[in-house]
Structure 1
Amino acid sequence: MELLGAALLLLCITCLLSFASWRRRSGKGKMPPGPTPLPILGNLLQVKPKDLSKTLEKLSEKYGPVFTVHMGSDPVVVLHGHSAVREALIERADEFAVRGHMPIGDRANNGLGIIFSNNTEWVQARKFAVSTLRNFGMGKRSMEERILEEAEHLLDEINKTKGEAFDPTYILSCAVSNIICSIVFGKRYDYKDKNFLSLMGSMDIIFEKMNSIWGQLYQMFPNIMYYLPGPHNNMFDQFDALKAFVYEEMKLHQASLDPSSPQDFLDCYLCKMQEEKDNPSSSFHMKNLITTTFDLFLGGTETTSTTIRYGLLLLIKYPKIQEKVQEEIDQVVGRSRRPCLADRPQMPYTDAVVHEIQRFIKLIPLSVPHSVDKDTCFREYVIPKGTTIFPVLSSVLHDEKEFPNPDEFCPEHFLNKNGTFRKSEFFIPFSAGKRICPGEGLARMEIFLLIAAILQNYTLKAVINPQELSITPTLSGIGNIPPAFQLCALPR
């Protein structure tokens, strides 16, 4: 009985101390306001892991564009709306360029690579990756050529369906992954290759588990979830499998490397390692090679293929929009050749549809978390050093002043009244500022060219009544995952 009383007393004291700490941090001149957290649980009762962006949208209505929530015991500052997100990521880009705490990424990458790293290693890895991708090839095939080449293989796979219903998930993943494989590894893989399909499966599992309730709970309570058995731990086996694949490719490249003629990203990185072998503080070492390449491989596959898959779902949901895209392709390109990037300025409606797909699905609604490396004054508040920051990209992509009826799929959001393409600074699906996705240029090319090639050759039909198709994400955490669906591709 005395033990129970002591436990209750300890719990009460913990609650009071937690509440007092929260009160001290909140208010004008201090931490932004927010709902009162519970000990250990934080704001788990208010923040629903199943749909974080929607939850944060509701909280912003009460607490404003800058507020605090507690993910477990850790405070997170949320930036909601175009003004707050732009001020942090663009106007004050240097101050908010630090990668925030993300337990899954921290455990998987151990501070290396591009996505989850910080400080000098991040600066060097990102700069090298961006410059190598931008100048890639050194006289060899351009990125556009690689995409168009893979588009032919994708169309061949679609043709094999002979108009029967199929799930496009795996062939889109294979196509997009092959494009990044040609850049990173210097080769592509057959769509039936068992090892390649196993990698596609690993990436699907990672993306699904990260966005599941298990993944979200891991983000909130890593010190507890690390030791608990459950499906969340399986994703780390998949991370290891992908890195093992990269390691095997690296060994092959080491054996055949010709420093005078690097063939792909791996060769370029190995050459850079050779250049800096006598520099003990160099960020170019074997572990960083594996992790950086892994980041490009995973990041260059899953997000782009999911965007295209979600786009096809929207196009069979709204067949009239699909028809208008096909009419424009026929008028500008015809059927004798594939659509190319040079056609894009003459294809404003297709370009608008591609932009609207990315805006509407808000694939990474919260961005990957940011942070600050010192106590930072932001508006009337102070964000303590090391605090995780969520810039809510979905709040910008679905801004109702910029995009009337933001929850409707409407290509006119990106068209002027005269039918020309309309640019918008609210279009930030790849984030913004110092941490903008390094593969943005490649991804935008892929989405436009692959969707245009598919619609040039096929009319996509829903298996069920289009009005009955759900376009609501089945999971919405770090990313939005579209519902499973099948379609029929009828030759035109």
Structure 2
Amino acid sequence: MDILLALKTNALPAVMTLLVMILLWKIRGKQSSFGRLPPGPPPNPLLGNLFQFNLKEAYKYYLELSEKYGSVVTIWLANTPVVIISGYEALKDTMIGLGEEFSGRDNYPLNMKATLGYGVLSSGHRWKEMRRFSLMTLKNFGMGRRSIEERVMEEAEYLVERIKKFEGSAISPADMLSNAVTNVIWSIVFGHRFELDDPQFMFLLQTIDSYFSILSSPLGQLYNIFPKLVSLFPGKHHQLFKYLKDARDYFRREAQARMNNVDPSCPQDFTDAFVLKIKEEKDKPDTEYNIENFVSLAWNLFTAGTETTSSTLRQSLLLMMKHPDVQERVQREIDEIVGQDRWPSIEDRQRLPYTDAVIHEVQRSMDITPIAIPHKTMCDTEYNGYVIPKGTKVFPLLSSVLIDPKLWKNPNCFDPKNFLDGDGRFKKSDGFVVFGMGKRACLGEALARTELFLFFTSLLQHFTFKAMVPPEELDTTPTNCSFGRIPRTYECYAIPRI
């Protein structure tokens, strides 16, 4: 008996060692099968390069790698290779020149929990069809229905009136801006706005907040790398999954309720337009127009159109307080062109070059998404002498363009002159890639541009924003999280101008 026990005891370390060796052999074998991938730092066994950088500031590490290895670099997240592409020329070559090859979407597992593989964050034919429909529908708003500009201005007026009630006392603008932007999306998708205390509206805001909170946390990052393992442990992610299911159920009920009462001659919102396509293609067995694609598309629009726009507006007000001379010049231009007797309109943008330049510079300097949502290759793809296998995850490093000193006069400072020519006219720049590049550029770019311009000009038309500390003490550097950069939380004074 003692002999058997001794054999078992002595055999256990040998068995464990053998299992580890087999695992390492498999990992090394997998890595060696990608023999013509771009160069990069050597990975560690099991975890790859994960422990070599701060997950909350991953883009900084990627920028360092691009300086060392070039515009295409390979890193390993666990045993999965990721190709990082940086610099304007390399991004243009791949995202535009090889747009079809790099057009796949490699979804985070958290995204898959929210969309189930449907909607515009899919790949192939489904993605193309959902993107085409969404772009066409958003572009055509205003034909027989309320235009997007009208919906944005309605919310801008509500926002201004809400801030006026504070009569110049301190406010915390984060929630007010988020509520206003969310209501714009809701109006576009479902045709009406919510009062701020509506239970369904509060639930939706809670779901979106929970989603981005988990996505930016260490827990969310671990889930995106080891989803099956993390699912076995308790945590806030399980509450998020319940929220996501309830949100999907709500969107599904909204669409199903329209099936029998939508007016084919005059669809009023995005939901009406999609339901009409479902009815139109109901006899096509391979149609992508079904309830599940609508549900995920609605979620895509809410998440993409809420956080980034409201955060950019928060950053814009913070920068106006940091640079009161810029705020004063913007207000002077608005007063001269728009005046105080009417609200701003999209048509005013061309006549407000300095204001337009300021908005663009806020976006550039904020660098809200240093790394675009991951792409993946749709086939074996050769670039720069390297071969990137089909299905490889690709990170477009947008930050490498937005801080490139060859493209910007003062890349590390807030400077509206980056978007002005010598005569003070607005100047476009190829390096303005905040919405991405190529076939996977942001679906809501036109909507975001409209919202940023109308909200920003309306707010500065009616208020002067002042910090609660001297401008030189304000820290305007966004904080880093796994999916991007977000403004710092602050309170301020909104002094009425009218």
When the two structures are superposed, what TM-score results if normalisation uses the length of structure 2? 0.94
Contact in 2 for aligned 1:300/1:439 (Cα 8 Å): yes
Whichever residue aligns with residue 22 of structure 1, its letter is: Q
Tell me, in whole angstroms, the C-alpha distance in 1 between the residues paired with 2:476 and 2:71.
28
Cα distance change on mapping 1:368 and 1:119 into 2, 3 Å: same
User: Could you list the per-position Cα deviations for residues 54-89 of structure 1 after superposition, in whole angstroms to 9, with x for gaps in the alignment?
Assistant: 111112122111010111221100001111111111
Tell me, in whole angstroms, the C-alpha distance in 2 between the residues paired with 1:148 and 1:276.
35
| Superposition pairs of residues 95-244 of structure 1, within 5 angstroms | 95-114=101-120, 116-244=121-249
Contact in 1 for aligned 2:362/2:414 (Cα 8 Å): yes
Shift of 1:277: 0.7
Is structure 2 residue 449 aligned with structure 1 residue 440? no
Match in the other structure for 1:44? 50
Deviates more, 1:237-246 or 1:319-328: 237-246
Tell me, in whole angstroms, the C-alpha distance in 2 between the residues paired with 1:422 and 1:40.
49
Match in the other structure for 1:11? 20
Shift of 1:137: 3.5
User: Could you list the per-position Cα deviations for residues 340-390 of structure 1 after superposition, in whole angstroms to 9, with x for gaps in the alignment?
Assistant: 111111211100110011111111211111111211101110001100000
Shift of 1:143: 1.4
Match in the other structure for 1:58? 64
Deviates more, 1:314-323 or 1:351-360: 314-323
Cα distance change on mapping 1:356 and 1:238 into 2, 3 Å: farther
SS at match of 2:55: coil
Match in the other structure for 1:82? 88
Tell me, in whole angstroms, the C-alpha distance in 1 between the residues paired with 2:29 and 2:298.
46
SS at match of 1:70: strand
Whichever residue aligns with residue 271 of structure 1, its letter is: L
SS at match of 1:67: strand
Cα distance change on mapping 1:361 and 1:372 into 2, 3 Å: same
Contact in 2 for aligned 1:403/1:413 (Cα 8 Å): yes
Shift of 1:191: 2.4
1:257 counterpart (248, 257, 262): 262
Whichever residue aligns with residue 73 of structure 2, its letter is: F
Whichever residue aligns with residue 60 of structure 1, its letter is: S
Q: Which runs of 4+ in 1 moved over 4 A?
A: none
Tell me, in whole angstroms, the C-alpha distance in 1 between the residues paired with 2:380 and 2:470.
55
Shift of 1:247: 2.5
Shift of 1:12: 4.4
Contact in 2 for aligned 1:170/1:200 (Cα 8 Å): no
Deviates more, 1:379-388 or 1:230-239: 230-239
Cα distance change on mapping 1:137 and 1:196 into 2, 3 Å: same
SS at match of 1:277: coil
Shift of 1:16: 5.5
Match in the other structure for 1:248? 253
Match in the other structure for 2:273? 268
Contact in 1 for aligned 2:24/2:46 (Cα 8 Å): no
Tell me, in whole angstroms, the C-alpha distance in 2 between the residues paired with 1:465 and 1:11.
59
Tell me, in whole angstroms, the C-alpha distance in 2 between the residues paired with 1:476 and 1:380.
34
Contact in 1 for aligned 2:222/2:230 (Cα 8 Å): yes
Shift of 1:166: 1.7
* RMSD of aligned alpha carbons: 1.8
Tell me, in whole angstroms, the C-alpha distance in 1 between the residues paired with 2:362 and 2:27.
43
1:361 counterpart (360, 366, 389): 366
Match in the other structure for 2:410? 405
Whichever residue aligns with residue 56 of structure 2, its letter is: K
Is structure 2 residue 8 aligned with structure 1 residue 2? no
Tell me, in whole angstroms, the C-alpha distance in 2 between the residues paired with 1:465 and 1:14.
58
Contact in 2 for aligned 1:202/1:241 (Cα 8 Å): no
Match in the other structure for 2:31? 22
Contact in 1 for aligned 2:435/2:441 (Cα 8 Å): yes
* Percent of aligned pairs sharing the same letter: 43
SS at match of 2:176: helix
Deviates more, 1:441-450 or 1:16-25: 16-25
SS at match of 2:119: coil
SS at match of 1:229: coil
Deviates more, 1:94-103 or 1:383-392: 94-103
Tell me, in whole angstroms, the C-alpha distance in 2 between the residues paired with 1:45 and 1:16.
21
Contact in 1 for aligned 2:381/2:389 (Cα 8 Å): yes
Contact in 2 for aligned 1:49/1:217 (Cα 8 Å): no
Is structure 2 residue 317 aligned with structure 1 residue 308? no
User: What stretches of structure 1 of length at least 5 have no aligned partner?
Assistant: none
Tell me, in whole angstroms, the C-alpha distance in 2 between the residues paired with 1:405 and 1:237.
46
Shift of 1:47: 3.2
Shift of 1:442: 0.8
User: What stretches of structure 2 of length at least 5 have no aligned partner?
Assistant: 1-9
Whichever residue aligns with residue 329 of structure 2, its letter is: K
Match in the other structure for 1:338? 343
Shift of 1:298: 2.4
Cα distance change on mapping 1:272 and 1:320 into 2, 3 Å: same
Contact in 1 for aligned 2:252/2:292 (Cα 8 Å): no
Shift of 1:466: 2.6
Shift of 1:21: 4.9
When the two structures are superposed, what TM-score results if normalisation uses the length of structure 1? 0.95
Tell me, in whole angstroms, the C-alpha distance in 2 between the residues paired with 1:122 and 1:31.
27
User: Could you list the per-position Cα deviations for residues 168-209 of structure 1 after superposition, in whole angstroms to 9, with x for gaps in the alignment?
Assistant: 111111211121222111111112323212322221221222
